[in-house]
């Protein structure tokens, strides 16, 4: 008779610090948050966080996962429109042997590195702005990837006919995502108007970048109940400025994205630190961009918050660590659907004893990683920056 896999233990995190400074307990049963502030049940594994911070798993609202293993070209110039940047990258791909070789790596391997980048930075859900490739639903993919969405690349790549078709084909309860107003020139400034004229500005519309949006257009975006995905490091690198987001953030209309390492700074924690340095929004709002607001704009109603019944997607950070200043080495544990995938040994082993672990180092600090993910990384032809697999054949548990 075939043996059944061991039952996943229920567990309770105690002495967990919330974003408001209060402390609570969180009981995890299967893939969901079962209780807040309640005593552990008999038989629960109890993990004392001793005041460490607990947050919902972070949501990266915009990434091109297959591009994160490619080095960011430095063309030493500023652009007026994204089409100019794309033209330079296409020419670079044809002329630079190293970049060309990076692009030639199998797509699933490059997608994997994008997933690992997100996992190591505390991201539990990422919105991939490209087709939903089959590997993204693989049980071994490092993070959850938004599945129900519509998208177009942009007006200048796809054309008005295809953009309109894509929007009409997207169910109204799915987000529809498009690069728009990505630049400084008149063409970028008119893209909002063209989308409106095409009937593509609705409550499920998410515009990525929005640098060229003026005040009146931002007001209309809010009136349409649409949203903006902000990628400040990419914007500053390519154009020397970023979108004016302060008003829209206050209205809950903004989520944060990384836009991949091809143009962005790195991972979502890097993006949060930059956004904090820009000083245009407060720290509470910054956390909302990658939790509650990001989840709502992407129509992910089962995550982005710590509440009973929500998915047990959780990030643990050291006590009193500000999310706006956190780095990958600060990540103590990442739970996705209640299962530990990455973190520090003292937290990961008790809550996921049936997971096989691999010892790794991230930016020089010892961590452990789900061995299924580690094995995929070890056999890929490309690597995640700062990730070392020193004992691939040995297991932590």
* pLDDT tens column, 322-371: 999 999 999 999 999 999 999 999 999 999 887 899 999 999 999 999 99
Domain containing residue 272: CATH number: 3.20.20.140
The yes-or-no verdict on residue 1 having pLDDT over 50 is no
What's the rounded Cα separation, in Å, for the pair 292 and 283?
Answer: 14
* pLDDT tens column, 285-324: 999 999 999 999 999 999 999 999 999 999 999 999 999 9
pLDDT at 5: 45
Kindly state whether residue 255 falls inside one of the protein's structural domains.
yes
* pLDDT tens column, 116-126: 999 999 999 99
Kindly state whether residue 289 falls inside one of the protein's structural domains.
yes
What residues contact 284, with CB distance under 8 A and at least 6 apart? 19
Kindly state whether residue 257 falls inside one of the protein's structural domains.
yes
Kindly state whether residue 150 falls inside one of the protein's structural domains.
yes
The yes-or-no verdict on residue 81 having pLDDT over 60 is yes
What residues contact 346, with CB distance under 8 A and at least 6 apart? none
Kindly state whether residue 43 falls inside one of the protein's structural domains.
no
pLDDT at 2: 41
If pLDDT is split at 50, 70 and 90, which confidence band does 74 have?
Answer: confident
Q: Across the strands, what pairs with 359? A: 368
Q: Cβ distance 301 to 154 under 8 Å?
A: no
- Based on DSSP, count helices (H) and strands (E) in the chain, helices before strands: 14, 19
Nearest alpha-carbon partner for 265 in 243, 237, 296: 237
What's the rounded Cα separation, in Å, for the pair 137 and 140?
Answer: 8
Nearest alpha-carbon partner for 180 in 138, 129, 139: 129
Kindly state whether residue 197 falls inside one of the protein's structural domains.
yes
The yes-or-no verdict on residue 396 having pLDDT over 60 is no
Classify residue 223 by burial, with Cβ atoms within 10 Å: 0-12, 13-18, 19+: exposed
Distances (CA, A) of 162 to 62, 132, 172: 21, 18, 18
Q: How many domains does the chain have?
A: 1
Q: Cβ distance 305 to 332 under 8 Å?
A: no
Helix (H) or strand (E) holding 160: helix 160-169
Q: How many CB atoms lie within 10 A of CB 91?
A: 12
Nearest alpha-carbon partner for 61 in 289, 288, 239: 289
Kindly state whether residue 97 falls inside one of the protein's structural domains.
yes
pTM score of the predicted model: 0.96
Kindly state whether residue 309 falls inside one of the protein's structural domains.
no
Domain hosting residue 69, numbered range: 59-297
Q: Cβ distance 160 to 198 under 8 Å?
A: yes
The yes-or-no verdict on residue 393 having pLDDT over 80 is no
């Amino acid at each position: 008779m075939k043996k059944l896999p061991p039952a996943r233990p229920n567990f309770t995190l105690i002495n967990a610090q919330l974003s408001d400074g209060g402390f609570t307990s969180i009981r995890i049963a299967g893939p969901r948050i079962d209780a807040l502030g309640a005593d552990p049940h008999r038989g629960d594994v109890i993990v004392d966080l001793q005041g460490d911070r607990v947050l919902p798993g972070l949501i990266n609202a915009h990434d091109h996962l297959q591009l994160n293993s490619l080095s960011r070209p430095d063309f030493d110039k500023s652009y007026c429109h994204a089409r100019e940047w794309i033209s330079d990258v296409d020419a670079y791909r044809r002329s630079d042997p190293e970049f060309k070789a990076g692009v030639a790596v199998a797509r699933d391997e490059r997608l994997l590195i994008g997933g690992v980048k997100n996992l190591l930075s505390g991201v539990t859900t990422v919105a991939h702005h490209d087709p939903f490739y089959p590997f993204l639903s693989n049980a071994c993919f490092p993070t959850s990837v938004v599945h129900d969405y519509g998208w177009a690349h942009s007006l200048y790549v796809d054309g008005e006919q295809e953009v309109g078709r894509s929007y009409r084909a997207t169910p109204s309860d799915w987000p529809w995502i498009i690069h728009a107003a990505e630049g400084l020139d008149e063409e970028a400034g008119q893209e909002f108007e063209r989308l409106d004229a095409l009937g593509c500005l609705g409550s499920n519309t998410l515009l990525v970048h929005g640098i060229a949006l003026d005040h009146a257009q931002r007001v209309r975006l809010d009136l349409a109940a649409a949203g903006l995905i902000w990628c400040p490091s990419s914007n500053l690198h390519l154009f020397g400025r970023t979108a004016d987001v302060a008003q829209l953030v206050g209205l809950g209309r903004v989520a944060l994205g990384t836009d991949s390492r091809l143009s962005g700074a790195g991972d979502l924690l890097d993006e949060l630190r930059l956004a904090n340095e820009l000083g245009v929004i407060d720290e509470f709002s910054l956390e909302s961009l990658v939790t509650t607001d990001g989840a709502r704009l992407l129509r992910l109603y089962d995550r982005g918050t710590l509440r009973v019944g929500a998915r047990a997607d959780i990030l643990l950070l050291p006590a009193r660590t500000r999310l706006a200043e956190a780095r990958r080495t600060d990540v103590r544990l990442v739970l996705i659907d209640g299962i530990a995938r990455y973190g520090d040994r003292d937290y990961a082993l008790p809550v996921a004893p049936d997971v096989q672990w691999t010892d790794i180092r991230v930016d020089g600090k010892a961590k452990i990683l789900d061995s299924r993910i580690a094995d995929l990384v070890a056999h890929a032809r490309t690597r995640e920056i700062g990730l070392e697999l020193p004992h691939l054949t040995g297991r932590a548990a």
